[in-house]
Structure 1
Amino acid sequence: MGPLQIKDILQTSPENQSVTVKGWVRTKRESKNAIFIALNDGSTIHNIQAVAEPGQFSAELLSTVTTGSCLKITGQLVESQGSGQAVEVKIDDILVYGTADPESFPLQPKKHSLEFLREIAHLRPRTNTFSAILRIRHALAFAVHQYFNDGGFFYLHTPVITASDAEGAGEMFRVTTLDLNKLPRTEEGAINFKEDFFGREANLTVSGQLEGELGAMALSKIYTFGPTFRAENSNTTRHLAEFWMIEPEMAFFELEDNMNLAEDFVKKVITYALIHCKDDLNFLQNRLAEEDKNKPQNERSIPLLEKLSFVVDNPFERLTYTEAIEILLKSKPHKEKKFQYPVGWGIDLSSEHERYLVEKHFKKPVILTNYPKEIKSFYMKLDEDGKTVRAMDVLFPGIGEIIGGSQREEDYDKLLGRVKEVGIDPENLWWYLETRKFGTAPHSGFGLGFERLVLFVTGMSNIRDVIPFPRYPKSAEF
């Protein structure tokens, strides 16, 4: 099992027992009476204080104990004499695993900007902010798997390399082994992908949904949780080129069942974080409060724990897209022309519209349904009016849409018609269409971008700060 971690030692009753602590130095402070070393190993937001007497160790040894150095300390666990911690270690011995030159080590005991920390992604997990984010990310990932396992779902590994574009957007990363300096050509001059590794064009997946539906048609309830990729040239706080998607697909689920699952799912995983990540969430809430002190009152964010409770404690309001448009048209921001984007039936709602519905009008999370078919994907089930589809979007405060899903079209002829309507070659989706010919069934599913969930739960403002090594245009350094 390895040595005790600092998280466990901090919860141990002090009885002058010998303990061994391993970790990285956050700070070292010397006074005439004692030398104080704050050590952290990443298991908790809290440091453990280790105390030595002046003259106990040589000046040469202590000169290597600087912020960022890695140490092994053995000593006696005693009741702390100072405030801020219940226990501390009275040092008997120090072993320096690795030093950190204070002149060149970039993480010093001071505030660093998030932009600067993105440039040193190999070191930023050692900061309080990013260690807290990564522990919360882990807890949420565990809660996702636990939720679906307990609900009778099967974890399906869908391919990372695919020949289909699930979203029809075309913004995909190509996978090839062709020599880009000597590309084979057809007689017409086009690239001859028959000579490529797979004998056809192949890309990194943008979604595991289509393959997930195949699994649901055999196992009834499945979920995917894996990396997805979009070659969208967006330098925004909400976009990544590589991110993780959670996509459950369920046979025999109709739109109402899908909404019930989505609401229960996000409430349960957020509740798990609230229970198991209290210290990290409190730290991040205090961090946000410090940032908000410099902002005007109307620009300050909802306290983090209050925002999470807002989702967990409220039943989600459910209404159709058409009803939402009517509310927006009657709203004060629309009448006073304060919305940046226009409102009208057929628009793809912007974040400002979604947040108005959640934060101002209903004051609770919202699920919108039955969107116009023109702004939704080809695989969504057509409503009887032929104009809308059985889509659903879950809207959260501060972020807008967090889940997108639908009842899938199970009728072969209708699905084939939509495939042709949006300009997709049916031959490329023959296997997907065939499931509607061989034992078709009503089925539904949704997608949740995992980083979007982590962004919401941690209260961070930039999605590049909730994944260990973000990928975005012109950035793949680490």
Structure 2
Amino acid sequence: MYNTLIRHLNFFNKTGRCLRYFSCRIENVKDLQETDNKIKIKHISLDKVGSNLTVKGWVQNIRKMKKDIFFDIDDGSTCKKFQVIIPKSEKKLHVGQSIEAQGLLQINPKNELELKASSVKILGNCNISDGVYPFTPKQVPDPEYVRSYLHIRTHVNFMRSVFRIRHHFIKIIHDFMYENDFIQISTPILTTNDCEGGGEIFLVKPNCRTLLENMKKQGIPIEESYFDKKTFLSVSGQLHLEAMCHGLGDTYTLTPAFRAENSKSPLHLSEFYMFEAELAFCDHIEILTNFIEKMIKTVTERLTSICEEDILNCRSALGLNNINEQLKYLEQDFKIMDYSETLRILAENREKFKTELDPEGGLSKEQELLLVELMQSPIFIINWPKTMKPFYMRIVDNDPFKVSGVDLLMPKVGELVGGSLRENDYETLKERLPVGLEWYLELRKYGSIPTGGFGLGLERFLQLITGIKNIRDVINFPRYPHSCKM
């Protein structure tokens, strides 16, 4: 008893010292912040007029008057312009420089907030040997031109807006899944399976012949000697997500996915981000479509509320209409129709599209967009021919030639979401199972449950929201055929 008491006293004594230490550290940080007085531009508001502030950022535009120099500064926190004024003899400023300005916050004759700087410090010079800065102030550069400066395209106003929108989307969709009791799973990027079965996969192996030779086992090709089998970059985390779902319930992941397609399409990338979810005890396609619709609408409403200025900035830079027209689908129920019904509608409107109507080959992008236009609504297409879809999709009740797959078609981007109910019958799945996926079949052997799931392309969703036509402009570092810069 005595020894136990002594241990407790020692613990509280040490804890007290730790608390006092951390308390001092916190106070020191607070003191530093108060002394620094630096503020993000997005947080500058009317209640701070008359205060001395410090702002840091990049010079965007310069206007020289008789006595003063006026320049706009951007720190990446907002698309709003913020003006700083300094005496003309103070500094030689150039567009692109990073600076620190200290001074008094005031309101100008246009009723806008501005900083009358008492001092300006250049933090990073914009060294231009040929005298030309890549991005001309007051002009919106062509997106293809901006892409040639991948490493500095965050110097362009509308690109900064894109990446802020992307940041907020990721936060919002994580919050939505948390609110709906889904568990986040980190699915692997290295895998031995081709989930979709299309063969559009990147092979992974060490770039060291000596290492492979040292690791080689008898009967194993040298190219496979690291993992003892062929290994690929993942095209989807779905199968791994299903494995976790069979013990944790509702699960989701947001991870990179890779497709080795020789596509120059403005809607395709070699590396992109896929949001995928798996719903436990999901045995009807309506459960799946209802959840997808609820998620799309909720996330869109929250994103457009938080990022309204950035979204409008993107659309304005591209000369597009206001966002309300683009997002009118939020106010209506999404339509649901069978794949066979979409073929009938397209056949009746054959003169309105150029691509061939191939019932066994699926829908072209042109046909997807036409369907959305004709229906004046997003469309869930369900009950697809079994021959067109992957092995894991559940056979439709009373129709052995169809599977419970679902594609969501949206304005401007076409297919945004693809999913299905998963085949839960052991014998049926066994007949369709690809070689090497015995573990997947075993999920149906030990306490199996009905599940359904889907994948949503993050970049396509951002195209839908911003109106940006080329998918390469909504991802930080685009990878596509013949291009893997940086």
TM-score (norm 2): 0.87
Alignment match, 1:369: 382
Indicate if the aligned counterparts of 2:408 and 2:415 stay in contact, CA closer than 8 A.
Answer: yes
Shift of 1:92: 0.3
Unaligned runs of at least 5 residues, structure 1:
293-301
Indicate if the aligned counterparts of 2:419 and 2:455 stay in contact, CA closer than 8 A.
Answer: yes
Alignment match, 1:213: 242
Please give the alpha-carbon distance, in whole angstroms, between the structure 1 residues aligned to 2:203 and 2:105: 57
Alignment match, 2:286: 256
- Selected match of 1:49 from 78, 83, 95: 83
Indicate if the aligned counterparts of 2:140 and 2:317 stay in contact, CA closer than 8 A.
Answer: no
1:326 matched to 2:361? The reply is no
Please give the alpha-carbon distance, in whole angstroms, between the structure 2 residues aligned to 1:53 and 1:401: 55
Alignment match, 2:64: 30
- Selected match of 2:479 from 447, 471, 475: 471
Please give the alpha-carbon distance, in whole angstroms, between the structure 1 residues aligned to 2:49 and 2:246: 60
Indicate if the aligned counterparts of 1:183 and 1:191 stay in contact, CA closer than 8 A.
Answer: no
Shift of 1:104: 4.6
Alignment match, 1:298: none
Instruction: Report the residue type matching 1:311 in the other structure.
Output: Y
> Structure 1, residues 253-294: CA drift from partner, whole Å, max 9, x if none?
1311110111111111111111001111111222232xx6xx
Shift of 1:43: 0.2
- Selected match of 1:401 from 402, 415, 425: 415
Please give the alpha-carbon distance, in whole angstroms, between the structure 2 residues aligned to 1:181 and 1:238: 40
Alignment match, 2:253: 224
Please give the alpha-carbon distance, in whole angstroms, between the structure 1 residues aligned to 2:113 and 2:223: 65
Instruction: Report the residue type matching 2:97 in the other structure.
Output: S
1:306 matched to 2:325? The reply is yes
Please give the alpha-carbon distance, in whole angstroms, between the structure 1 residues aligned to 2:121 and 2:251: 50
- Selected match of 2:232 from 198, 203, 215: 203
TM-score (norm 1): 0.89
1:390 matched to 2:409? The reply is no
Please give the alpha-carbon distance, in whole angstroms, between the structure 1 residues aligned to 2:209 and 2:159: 39
Alignment match, 1:146: 175
3-state SS of 2:56 partner: strand
Alignment match, 2:119: 93
- Selected match of 2:295 from 265, 272, 291: 265
Please give the alpha-carbon distance, in whole angstroms, between the structure 2 residues aligned to 1:12 and 1:217: 54
- Selected match of 1:77 from 57, 81, 105: 105
1:113 matched to 2:126? The reply is no
- Runs of 4+ in structure 1 off by over 4 angstroms are 180-188
Shift of 1:348: 0.3
Unaligned runs of at least 5 residues, structure 2:
1-29
Indicate if the aligned counterparts of 1:21 and 1:72 stay in contact, CA closer than 8 A.
Answer: yes
Shift of 1:229: 1.1
Please give the alpha-carbon distance, in whole angstroms, between the structure 2 residues aligned to 1:104 and 1:180: 46
Aligned length: 444
Shift of 1:180: 5.2
Alignment match, 1:126: 155
Shift of 1:412: 1.2
Shift of 1:122: 1.1
Instruction: Report the residue type matching 2:471 in the other structure.
Output: I
Indicate if the aligned counterparts of 2:392 and 2:422 stay in contact, CA closer than 8 A.
Answer: yes
- Superposed CA RMSD: 2.0
- Selected match of 2:311 from 252, 259, 281: 281
Shift of 1:14: 4.5
> Structure 1, residues 54-87: CA drift from partner, whole Å, max 9, x if none?
34x1xxxx22x11000000000001122x3x621
> Structure 1, residues 409-464: CA drift from partner, whole Å, max 9, x if none?
01111112122xxxx31xx1011110011111111000001111111111101000
Q: Identity of aligned pairs, percent?
A: 35
- Greater Rg, structure 1 or structure 2? 2
Please give the alpha-carbon distance, in whole angstroms, between the structure 1 residues aligned to 2:323 and 2:120: 39
Alignment match, 2:24: none
Indicate if the aligned counterparts of 1:380 and 1:389 stay in contact, CA closer than 8 A.
Answer: yes
Q: In structure 2, do the counterparts of structure 1 residues 303 and 37 end up closer, same or farther at CA, with 3 Å as the change threshold?
A: closer
Alignment match, 2:271: 242
Please give the alpha-carbon distance, in whole angstroms, between the structure 1 residues aligned to 2:402 and 2:294: 25
3-state SS of 1:349 partner: coil
